[in-house]
């Protein structure tokens, strides 16, 4: 089956200033050679300017609003694409990031990619915001199916911050991250969508000296009928710190680049 396009999705953690770090990030991103990429937590015009200068083969789009952290999307020249900012994924909170919707046309077929960066708190408010945003993302397929007059080629992805909930006032009321993911999986299944498999158990790490354990925060959800290239039996490969051969090298990579791994996958053409 032929490739339609490749995607890189990466939270670069407060991506601003620091020309040396910006150069490292851009070099690593270019090495993946994605047809489409999304960067989360882009802050300030310096990073945008650095990307434009460092990746001349791409067209760029960025979200705007009261939020500090933006989602920046790059599309390789030659691909037909339409970008839309989707404010409904703020869940009524103006400081939250909007969704970034990119529609690609490949060989006459439309593919809708929604990039999300959801609430990061592990308190009841944070869980509630995430749950609402991700439910909206699942149900958005109904809108896309209607527009397509059939079965839309729909994916949504990003840093979902699936960290569960800690309810400090009553013992035994915590919600584990695995339970939060299980609910998302069920909501996706209702819309005939699936969580893509990854070739590693965690996508985030604060390093070996942190009291926080590595976590599975970044995900890709896609319509069931879509197919993907295989990476060791998985549909998404994690690049960055999870691929480093030692704890020391992982710590260095996290310090130099980001606490999040880059997710890379390849969408196959639909018939």
* Distance from C-alpha of 161 to C-alpha of 114, rounded to nearest angstrom: 16
pLDDT digits (tens, 9 = 90+) for 55-68: 999 999 988 876 66
Residue 259's pLDDT is 97
- Domains of the chain in sequence order: 3-268 (3.60.10.10)
pLDDT digits (tens, 9 = 90+) for 150-198: 999 999 999 999 999 987 766 767 999 999 999 999 999 999 999 999 9
Residue 173's pLDDT is 79
pLDDT band at 95 (very low <50, low <70, confident <90, very high): low
Q: Is the pLDDT of residue 75 over 80?
A: yes
What residues does 59 pair with on adjacent strands? Answer: 75
H helix or E strand, kind and range, residue 14: strand 3-15
The pTM for the full model equals 0.94
Residue 13's pLDDT is 87
Contacts 24+ apart (CB under 8 A), 167-175: 167/123, 167/124, 175/127
- Pairing mode, strands 70-76 and 36-42: antiparallel
Q: What percent of the chain has pLDDT over 90?
A: 77
């Amino acid at each position: 089956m032929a490739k339609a396009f490749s995607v890189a999705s990466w939270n670069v953690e407060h991506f601003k200033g620091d020309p040396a770090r910006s150069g490292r990030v851009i070099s690593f991103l270019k090495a993946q050679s994605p047809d489409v990429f999304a960067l989360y937590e882009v802050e300030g015009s310096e990073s945008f300017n650095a990307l434009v200068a460092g990746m001349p083969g791409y067209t760029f789009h960025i979200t705007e609003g009261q939020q500090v952290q933006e989602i920046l999307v790059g599309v390789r020249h030659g691909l037909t694409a339409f970008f839309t900012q989707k404010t409904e994924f703020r869940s009524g909170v103006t400081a939250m990031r909007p969704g970034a919707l990119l529609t690609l046309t490949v060989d006459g077929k439309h593919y809708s990619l929604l990039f999300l960066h959801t609430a990061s708190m592990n308190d009841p408010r944070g869980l509630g915001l995430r749950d609402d945003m991700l439910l909206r993302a699942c149900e958005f397929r109904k809108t896309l199916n209607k527009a397509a007059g059939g079965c839309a080629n729909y994916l949504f992805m990003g840093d979902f911050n699936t960290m569960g909930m800690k309810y400090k006032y009553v013992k035994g009321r915590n919600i584990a991250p695995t339970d939060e993911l299980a609910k998302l999986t069920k909501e996706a299944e209702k819309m005939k969508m699936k969580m893509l498999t990854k070739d590693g158990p965690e996508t985030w790490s604060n390093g070996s000296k942190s009291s926080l354990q590595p976590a599975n925060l970044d995900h890709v959800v896609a319509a069931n009928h879509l197919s993907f290239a295989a990476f060791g039996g998985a549909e998404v490969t994690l690049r960055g710190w999870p691929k480093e051969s030692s704890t020391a090298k992982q710590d260095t990579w996290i310090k130099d680049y980001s606490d999040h791994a880059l997710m890379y996958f390849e969408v196959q053409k639909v018939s």
